[in-house]
Chains A and B, each alone.
Chain A
Amino acid sequence: MTSLNLEALFQSKIDEETKIEPKDWMPDAYRKTLIRQISQHAHSEIVGMLPEGNWITRAPSLRRKLILLAKVQDEAGHGLYLYSAAETLGANRDDLVQQLLSGKAKYSSIFNYPTLNWADIGAIGWLVDGAAIMNQVMLTRTSYGPYARAMVRICKEESFHQRQGYEIMIAMAKGSPEQKAMAQDAINRWWWPSLMMFGPKDAESSHSDQALKWKIKRKTNDELRQQFVDVTVPQAEYLGLTVPDPDLRWNEEKGSYDFGEIDWEEFWSVVKGNGPCNKQRLQARNKAYEDGAWVREAASAHAAKKEQRKLEPQLATKAA
């Protein structure tokens, strides 16, 4: 079959909603796009452990501590599900991790913002995970089978993340004046970065069209962003907190909220590495990787020795 025919066949499978599986023929660009997107997503989960992990030792109750441990652990799990999906495309996890550590690969910019008070843990669960879920629910229907299956698993687990975050926000917003101030401070800092999580405007998004055609993505950045604002604003109102956007108002005609312009300069600046914590996050991941090298090597060496010892008696018997 010519590559043109293959490509037509591939697109027809996509159009009729047949999932693409690892060994199926796929255009190189589809494979590359997926590896890039899935690994970025995996990196985001792993880097995402850091801002929240920052508060594990300071969680204010045993219940909260258990929840936070379990949540950050889930993020490591989600990272691994995703690396596993990327590996079905022929990528190698260590190569992907190297790209993260060298700064070559991107991850979600949201994790380059600091967690400064306990309500940030609530805000991350509520806003950041809420925004992530919008994207992830869409991805459970993505065209590549292993990615879609990983996302189904992740979405199932993720739903507790958002609820626990909102529960923290309720406790804080209904608590003492200091707690309420912490909650407002958190939404002030996390609102706009959460909206930025959906990426550039459709008009400026370089990968969007092809990704939609291949059904890797199924909604545009702006559609998802609007959906997020529409469901989240009433949740903020319930908490009695102010969304830090003077232009935010209900638009009766279109049945959704109008909201202000994102500070795109800030967006691109953080993407380019100048967010408040870009350096610290990468340093932390590099340190864990370097400090852990001897452990990984030792485990490999020990496994090789064990294998050798299994063989030795057999060899000895043969020799005798």
Chain B
Amino acid sequence: MKNEWPLWEIFIRSKSGLSHKHVGSLHATDAEMALENARDLYTRRNEGVSLWVVESKHITASDPNDSDPLFEPAKDKIYRHPTFYNVPDEVTHM
């Protein structure tokens, strides 16, 4: 009989001051079990100080086919970067 536990995505904050980072997935029946399984599977060597678990079905990912319309337009907006602007060398602290 097929009775697979749902898939969860796991995110770990490796130390205070850093954001949570995706590390992989695992199976669990509910959020509590997902947290415990994540603790045992992904933090056996002191890898984290905080965990997020999200059931995989709740994640919406962008489609690689949309990469161009989504991300290309940002590439030529060089005026968003500080190096776009000329400031005389003698002006400091800027």
Q: Report A-B touching, CB under 8 Å.
A: yes
Q: Which residues of A contact B (CB under 8 A)?
A: 21, 23-25, 73-74, 77, 80-81, 84-85, 87-88, 92-94, 146, 149-150, 153, 157, 293, 296-297, 299-300, 302-303, 306-307
| Distance in angstroms between the alpha carbons of A39 and B23 in the assembled complex | 19
* Complex A-B: 8 CB contacts under 8 Å: A73-B44, A84-B25, A87-B25, A93-B4, A157-B45, A293-B3, A299-B33, A300-B5
The docked-state distance in angstroms from the alpha carbon of A56 to that of B7 is: 31
Interface residues of B (CB under 8 A from A): 1-5, 7, 23-27, 29-30, 33, 41, 44-45, 61, 63-64
The answer to whether A84 and B24 touch (CB under 8 A), given A299-B29, A299-B33, is yes
With a cutoff of 8 Å between Cβ atoms, the chain B residues found around residue A150 in the complex are 24
Query: Which residues of chain A have C-beta atoms less than 8 A from B27's C-beta?
Result: 93
Residues of A contacting B29 in the complex (Cβ-Cβ under 8 angstroms): 299-300, 302-303
Alpha-carbon separation in the docked complex, A302 to B63 (Å)? 35
Residue of B nearest to A293 (CB): B1
* 9 more CB-based (< 8 A) A-B contacts, given A87-B7, A150-B24, A300-B5: A21-B64, A23-B63, A25-B64, A73-B44, A77-B41, A81-B24, A84-B26, A293-B3, A306-B30
Expressed in whole angstroms, the Cα–Cα distance for A62 and B26 within the complex equals: 31
Q: Which of B7, B23, B44 contacts A74 (CB 8 A)?
A: B44
A76 to chain B, nearest CB (A): 9
State in angstroms the CA–CA spacing of A73 and B2 once bound together: 26
Chain B residues, Cβ within 8 Å of A306: 30
- Bound-complex Cα distance A2 to B59 (A): 29
Given contacts A84-B26, A87-B25, is CB(A77)–CB(B4) below 8 Å? no
B41 close to A80 (CB less than 8 A): yes
A296 to B41, CA, bound (A): 18
Q: Which residues of A contact B45 (CB under 8 A)?
A: 157
Q: Ordered nearest first, which 4 A-B pairs have the shortest CB separation? A: A303-B29, A94-B4, A303-B30, A299-B29
